[in-house]
Every structure is written in structure tokens, then in C-alpha cells.
Structure 1
Amino acid sequence: MVIILDAHGYRIELQPQSGATVLSATWTKPGGQVIALLERLDTPDAGLQSGCFVMVPFVNRIADGRFTFEGRDYSMPVNRPEPAVAIHGFSRDRPWQVMSASPDHAILQDTVSSGEHPWRYTVTMHVSIRQKGVRIALTLQNDGTEPLPFGMGLHPFIPYGPDTTITFAANGSFPSDHRGLPIAPLARPDGLACGETVPVQAWRGTDRCYLGWFTQAAMIHWPDRESAMVLSADGVFKHVHLFAPKDRNVFCVEPVSHFPDAINRPFLGCDAAMAVLAPGESMSGSMELAAEGL
């Protein structure tokens, strides 16, 4: 089953049974040219390497699939064995329930309770098309009986060409070890995060989280397609993770609520930490994609 939203020049395809993943997002220019805002995902069963997927109840990596909170030890499955980490949460691999759908919006939900990990939660995703762009909003609620650390994020894959550029600004980032886990000390903004316009091609191989995403927005220019896109975020998405694999012409601008393995690394500081939600408490954030011609 694929849900199709089509309004105001934008077209979105969602697959509820594969983690409510956004399979594709396009924008049709006034002249009729179709611009891919996300790299299309044709085979979600083979792995979520394109489109856009949800990360809950944590983002990125947790070392060894273990953490300690308020004196109690917790564990979860290690779903990336080689670096020995749990990664990107659980809901991206689960079928979601469709709560409602129309030509310009869809609401999907996943309720999780498992003996394999400590979290009990409900995550709701509201995808809507408005005249100014596509909005993906998440709300994550603690359904458990005890407070626990929670986090969430979105993982969009964006295509790029030889002249594609990105502009955004952040406070800085922490260097990472060989497992992709942050280590001290905090580094000042590099050439990618200082507010200057830089070519995406030059940052191939980047896999880094940036602290304090100032405007919660990034501007992407595709000169070869005479188009641009503003990717913006709000709510708990106060950090941004940049990932550009070496072997593909895609990059990811991931709005996230916390740093990789923040639950095990208090030296990252409270701004980088997961949010502790009491039973029944929730957190919310959204990402918007707004395209324009050049």
C-alpha cells in the first residue's frame, strides 16, 4: 500500500508498512519540470537508503546497545553489529497504522511495546502539503510507567549534482571515533557550518552532528536544475546531522533532537542530551521542504 499526496505542485509517496517511510517527494516547476526533492526509494525491503525515514525513540547510535539511567541498566538489540551499535531506533522497521489520509495530508501512528528494549511509546506523524511546501511533523509520547530518555529525528536523502551547494550555520561539532561516536572536545564551526555557501561535493564522506543549529534551516541550491530548496525545522529539532556517503550522489540533512550516544556521554552537555519524558509526556518537532525556482 502506498499513500499518495498531491497538491500545490508537490507530490509525496508514503509507505505505511515500511516504517511510514517517505518513498519520494517531488515538486513541479511552473514550466512543468519535475524536481526530485528526495532521492526516490524503490525497494524499501532492501534497506532504507533513500527517501526519508523516522528515527524514534532515539536517533543515530547508542554504543553497544546499552545505557544506564537513574542507576538502572538498560539494553536493546544491536542492529549494526560491525561497530557494535544500536542505530536509528525501532519504528523505521515496523508497519504503521493509517489514521487518516486525503490528497493533501496523512496521519500515521506507531505504538510500540517490546520486551527487547525499555521504551513504550506512541509516535504520530502528520505529513501535509501546503502552498509553501511539505511539512512532516512528529509527536512522540512516553506510554511507559517510568521516566525515560527519548529522542527523535528525520533522515531525508537528498540528491545532488556537481554544482549543488548547501548553506547552514551551527555552534560546532564534536569529533567522532571509528564507530561514529562523538569524543571531546567541542570543535568550532568548520567550513560546512559557518553560514557560508559550500559545494556538497567537497564534503563527501561527512558523517557528523552539529550542535546548536542557529536558524534551524539549510538552503540547498541545484544550479543544474535551476531550483533550490529550504529545509527547515522547529520544535525539539535543535541540532542537525550531516551525512554524505562516499559512494553515492546523495546527502542527508537530518533534523535531530540529540547527539549520537548522548545518553552515555554526559560530557556532551545538557544541550546535546536526550529529553527525559515522564509517563504520558510528549515531545514534538517538524521538518519542512519548500522548493523554488532560480
Structure 2
Amino acid sequence: MSAPVRIAAGDLSLDLRPELGGSVSSFRLDSGPGPFDLMRPLAAPEGAAPHALHSGMFPMVPFANSIRDNAFRFDGARYSISPNMPDTRLNYHGSGWQLPWRVARHDASRVDLVLEDATVDDVYLFAARQTFALTPHTLTVELAVENRSERTMPFSCGLHPWFPRHRGAMVRFSAGWYWAEDAEGHATTLTAPEDDTDFGDWNAPPTIYQNKCFTDWNGVAEVLWPDAGILLRMRGDPLMNHLMFHVPPNGAPVFCLEPQTNAPCAFDDLERGVVNKGVHLLAPGQDLSVSCRFEVRTDLPLNQT
């Protein structure tokens, strides 16, 4: 495997693995008592090859989450896609995170990655671009996807960061209701937040499996590591008004806050001519572009919540 593509600014550094789905292998703060991981560092389980699923963040294109039963109807046609992970029935997050990306630009504090003529079965033909730019206190990520097929198609997108649970991690964000899901991730019903799902004030992330998509997210989510006095504030642009809160089932010391345009199964109503929030119909050659900033603060007193 090739060496990671690195950029740095001030005390922040970012390592990328273009060949592993254009994923982040390290986002780190190098100050104070030593290096501090702001996203999960890439580490494959023993005996396994490195993969985007082991990374700190990967892109979700040409759609985020899953499509109900891997099929949808649109504009008089039925489209069916294949599962994309072992032992699963659905396709999760499209194919962008499973394909090698190319470095189109690499400066000291900026990297552009591109993915050209990518496919999901014979349903999608698309291109994508990620731009990563660092300042001493902020990582800005731009993600764009372009429809390269000969027909208008529904698209969505998002980012899938993984945050370490170390140093007493706490979470805070403001959002509306969330989608309850079945075991495969199909959206079922809109549910009002209760005490254990209300993160309007600081709360510890759950330690058991969850996969909840919060609607009407205001675009701001914060992760605080109070034992280190470090705050990471994530700001999604207005198109990214859904936030998926995911905790894996295997007890891994991580959790995910995923800014994205759409809820799970958002293509459900296309056959009735209804375009659900966060779904974008792109004509041939048209693109969808979103951005997200990750702002780092280190001036907080220890154990401050």
C-alpha cells in the first residue's frame, strides 16, 4: 500500500488514503502532552486488509444510507442494485467509498481527490470530487457528485466520520425527530426524541448499537473530550440537514455523526412523483455539491461540559 497523502497547518494534520475509497486515515492534533486523534485512526483488525470501513471518514456517494430493498422506481423505470458488503442484503452508501480515487492536487494544506466514471451496477454512472483544506484550527471538506449517465437520476450524498470515545467524549447537537429503523436500516417511523436520544445538551454517546437519522438538523454537532479540554465542532452546509448518529454493535470505542442530505430510504416515493427532502434529481452533466467544516478548539478548561 502506498504512503498516505498528508497535509498540515499549525498543529493539525490530515492523512488520506485515496486508494481506500478516498478515506481519511488520520485527523490529528499535535499539541499539548502529545498527539490527539480527532477521528479514528485507520487500523485494520488482525489478519484483515485495510479498508475504508476501518478509516476515520469516508464519502457517501452517489447516495447515502440505503435504498429500500435495493430497488426504486423513477420516471417509469425500475432500478435494482446489488449488495456491496459481505453478509448484508442491502447496498450501503453506494460505491464511492469502495473505489480508488486519484490525487488531482496536493499542496501543503490542501488535497483534491477525484473519482471518474464510477458506477453502481448498471444503474449509476457518476464522477465525484473531494477537497480537503486545512487551516491551523479548521478542516473544510467539500464533496461533489456529477451525474454522467444519459438520463436524469436521483442522487444524495454525505460524509461518514468516526469519532473516538476516548477522554470522556460527550456529544451535543440540535435536531428534530428521528427515523426509527428496522434491523437492516430501513426507515420505519418518525419518532420524537426522548431522554436517551435527546442531545440538545451534552450527553455521552450510547454504548450499545444505534442507527438513528435525525431530521431537521440545524447543521451543527459538537464532540467534546472534557478530559483533554478539546472541542470539535462540525458545521454542515444547509443542504446537509440530516444527521445520522451511529454506534456500531461490536463494542468498538467509536461513534459516528454523519452529516448527509437525506434520510434512509429517501427514494421511496419517487414512483409517485414525490421527491423527498435531501434527494436531488440531477440531469446529465449536473452536479450536487456540499461542504462541512470541522472546527477545533483547545482553549477549554479540563472537564468542562
TM-score of the aligned structures, taking structure 2 as reference length: 0.88
Q: Superposition RMSD on alpha carbons, in Å? A: 2.1
Whether 1:26 and 2:31 are equivalent positions in the alignment is: no
Equivalent pair of 2:39/2:162 in contact (CA under 8 Å): yes
After TM superposition, list the pairs within 5 Å mapping 1:93-112 onto structure 2: 93-112=98-117
| CA drift at 1:235 | 4.3
| CA drift at 1:122 | 1.2
Which stretch of the first structure deviates more once superposed, 110-119 or 123-132?
110-119
Q: Give the corresponding residue for 1:152.
A: 157
Equivalent pair of 1:61/1:260 in contact (CA under 8 Å): yes
Counterpart Cα distance in 1 of 2:113 and 2:295: 22
More strand by share: 1
Q: Give the corresponding residue for 1:190.
A: 194
Counterpart Cα distance in 2 of 1:140 and 1:153: 10
Counterpart Cα distance in 1 of 2:6 and 2:278: 36
Counterpart Cα distance in 1 of 2:83 and 2:10: 42
Q: 1:124 corresponds to which letter in structure 2?
A: R
Counterpart Cα distance in 2 of 1:155 and 1:138: 12
Equivalent pair of 1:230/1:289 in contact (CA under 8 Å): yes
Counterpart Cα distance in 2 of 1:80 and 1:54: 16
Q: Give the corresponding residue for 2:124.
A: 119
Equivalent pair of 1:97/1:108 in contact (CA under 8 Å): yes
Task: Report the secondary structure of 1:276's partner residue.
Answer: strand
Equivalent pair of 1:211/1:272 in contact (CA under 8 Å): no
Residue 260 of structure 1: which of 254, 257, 264 is its match? 264
| CA drift at 1:127 | 0.4
**Cα deviation code 1:245-280 (max 9, x no counterpart):** 24111000101111112112569x855342111112
Q: Give the corresponding residue for 1:205.
A: 209
Counterpart Cα distance in 2 of 1:224 and 1:290: 18
Aligned length: 289
| CA drift at 1:16 | 1.1
After TM superposition, list the pairs within 5 Å mapping 1:85-100 onto structure 2: 85-100=90-105
Equivalent pair of 2:25/2:55 in contact (CA under 8 Å): yes
**Cα deviation code 1:107-151 (max 9, x no counterpart):** 010013447231121111000002331111111111122110001
Unaligned runs of 5+ in 1: none
Counterpart Cα distance in 2 of 1:115 and 1:164: 36
| CA drift at 1:178 | 2.1
